[in-house]
Structure 1
Amino acid sequence: MFDRIAGFFRLIGQTISRWVRLFAAWAIWPFMAAHGWYARRTWVIRLPIIAFLALLVVLYGYFIWQTQVWSNFNTAFVDQYRLSDRKVPAGQEIPATDGTAAKTCQRSAIVDVAADLTDFNVNQNAWISSMLLYKMGFFGIDWDHTPFLDNKASFQRGINQAVRRTSVELVDTLGRVRGTSGINNDLQSARGNLQFDEFSWYFGLRPFGPKTPTPAYYRAAINSLRKFNTDLAGCNAVFDGRADNLIQFIDRIANDLGSTSDMLAERSENHNRGWFDTRADDRFWFAYGQLYAYYAILSAAQADFSQVVSERNLGAIWTGTTRQFQAALRIQPAIISNGREDGWIMPSHLATMGFYILRVRSNLVEIRSVLDR
Structure 2
Amino acid sequence: MKFVDEARIRVAAGDGGDGCVSFRREKFVPRGGPDGGDGGRGGSVYLVGDEGLNTLADFRHSRRYAAERGDNGRGRQMTGRSGEDVVVPVPVGTVVVDAETGETIGDVTAEGERLLVARGGDGGIGNIHFKSSTNRAPRQSTPGQSGERRELGLELRVLADVGLLGLPNAGKSTLLRAVSAARPRVADYPFTTLYPSLGVVRVGPGQSFVMADIPGLIEGAAEGAGLGVRFLKHLARTRLLLHVVDVSCIYDDRDPAEDAASVVGEVARFDPALAARERWLVLNKMDLIPADEQEAVTAEIAAAMGWDGPVFAVSGETGEGTAELCRRVMVRLESIDEEGDEHGPGG
The structure richer in helix per residue is: 1
After TM superposition, is the score higher than 0.5?
A: no
Which structure has the larger Rg?
A: 2
The structure richer in strand per residue is: 2
Q: When the two structures are superposed, what TM-score results if normalisation uses the length of structure 2?
A: 0.27
Q: When the two structures are superposed, what TM-score results if normalisation uses the length of structure 1?
A: 0.25
